[in-house]
Amino acid sequence: MSSNYVHFADLKNLTGSPSMTGKFLHAVNRLLPSDRQMTVDDEIWVHHGGYLRYLGTLLGENPESETLRGYVGLLLARYLAPAASSSIASEHTPIRGLPMFYMLGHCILNVVVTLPYIMGDLFVRWSLEETELAEISDMVTLIRNATRAGFQGKSWMDLDTRTRAVDRLADLGRFVGRPDNLTTAEMLNQHYSFLATAEGPYATMLEVTRDAESARKKDLLKSPTPFFPAINIELPTILVNAFYVPIYHIMVIPPAIMFAPFYKSGLPLAFNYGSLGHVIGHEITHAFDPELNLYNASGLREDWWSPDTRKAIDARLQCLKDIYNQVPWASGVNYGDTAVSENFADCGGLERVHRAYDALGDHSVQKLGDKSYSGKQTFFITSCYKWCASTPPAKYTEDMVKVKIYSPMKMRCNVPLMNTPEFATAFRCAAGTLMNPKKRCDVF
């Protein structure tokens, strides 16, 4: 599991260093008000806990190491080089002309990270029409409605769990293109009012900005309000991806993904629902997936599953693991075990968006190349088109096998289709064949 709650007392198991519990507690409590201090019996939410082993090695028993200090100093110098020293930047990029691009890229990246909603707003204004945002927002609404309707057909869910699932869906936040409350210059100026006008060299501007950003985050931790909205953590917008933020229970569809091959205004419904619609369904499914679904809208742990329904979903997850472990495209890797969260979202997302698309009653015929396909066939084809990629080099493949949190592109295309009976019907796949198997998994 890549994300979970851990007692401070148990951090030594993740870091490999007994002293790290005290060091973590000290670091956290320095930032919290006196009436909200934490103890070894309290919990901390850990994301990708494997990295803590490296932290324990670096900071555990010998944090005063001169080697460590020197390494951190070199990293800091490298980070500041494009802002403070053209000579060092030139050493980093020996090819003539590249230092300037390196320095400009550093500046732009810092703006993207520090002022993501301003950059996202500019992106939207320059590249998208308001009608496109509205169309995608409507797509999100329809897929959410289809998700709600789908809960009613899950006979293995008891009434109490189904009711909680509907409530959880209603609580799911949405960020489509840009935050709804940051759509004007006045709103953005107010949101970023913590940043002072910085003058002078770029290095000075960078320092002033970083200090202001750090002070703001510390103030949030000391606020009497125990929870603040996701918008205050500056979600990325210039990103060709979509994501679900579990602690804040919000789904983010950045503007950078609102282009082909994911979406294009004016294309038939089958294209946009099969591509971007599947991405949206994928992120909605993450709100219910096996790793992230124990947190409520306030980021606190809440097991909303009844014991019987939990057993039922665990059985369905095992079914899904078996399918992914047995398909012929896995190259000997058990992606059913290592990529369970993403596999769950891929399959569940396709079920959701197909339900939404089917409700639209699209009976159009599309021509792709010299062949004609029904709307439903086009929908399934497009659900795979976004996964098209050249075969990576062997070394890259070996490195990716070590990560394994995503199944290979061919599996992300084909396994959800295998698990969808409507696909087999649309393409008239013979019963018992690879793409129309006897065994399927009703995931969620």
Core vs surface per residue 158-185: b (16+ CB within 10 A) or e: eeebbebbeebbeebbbbbbbbeebbee
pLDDT in tens, 142-152: 999 999 999 98
Domain membership flag for residue 442: no
Rounded to 10 degrees, the C-alpha dihedral 335/338/344/346 comes to -60
Do 17 and 145 share a structural domain? no
Q: Give the model's pLDDT for residue 398.
A: 52
Do 171 and 204 share a structural domain? no
| CATH for 318 | 3.40.390.10
Do 197 and 171 share a structural domain? no
Domain membership flag for residue 120: no
Domain end residue (candidates: 233, 266, 299): 233
pLDDT in tens, 257-266: 999 999 999 9
Q: Give the model's pLDDT for residue 300.
A: 76
Do 30 and 148 share a structural domain? no
Q: Give the model's pLDDT for residue 403.
A: 60
How far apart are alpha carbons 175 and 262 in whole angstroms?
A: 17
Domain membership flag for residue 440: no
Closest CA to 278 of 258, 299, 262: 262
Do 339 and 254 share a structural domain? yes
Closest CA to 224 of 440, 32, 444, 417: 32
Residues 6+ positions from 336 with CB-CB distance below 8 Å: 320, 321, 322, 323, 324, 325, 326, 343
Q: Give the model's pLDDT for residue 291.
A: 67
Do 395 and 319 share a structural domain? yes
Domain membership flag for residue 241: yes
Name the stretches of the chain with pLDDT < 70: 1-3, 60-61, 63, 93-97, 226, 290-292, 391-403
Number of domains the chain is built from: 3
Domain membership flag for residue 438: no
Domain end residue (candidates: 46, 76, 96): 96
Q: Could you list the residue range(s) of the whole structural domain that residue 200 is in?
A: 187-233
Do 16 and 162 share a structural domain? no
Do 301 and 273 share a structural domain? yes
- ∠ at Cα 408 (407, 410), nearest 5°? 120
Do 222 and 80 share a structural domain? no
Can you read off the two tokens belonging to residue 282? 């994928």
Do 241 and 229 share a structural domain? no
Q: Give the model's pLDDT for residue 412.
A: 95
Alpha helix (H) residue ranges in 153-295: 159-171, 185-191, 202-222, 269-272, 278-286
pTM of the model: 0.89
Q: Give the model's pLDDT for residue 392.
A: 63
Do 264 and 399 share a structural domain? yes
CA 244, 249, 254, 260 torsion: positive or negative? positive
Do 174 and 60 share a structural domain? no
Grouping H, G, I as helix, E, B as strand and the rest as coil, residue 45 is strand
Domain membership flag for residue 142: yes
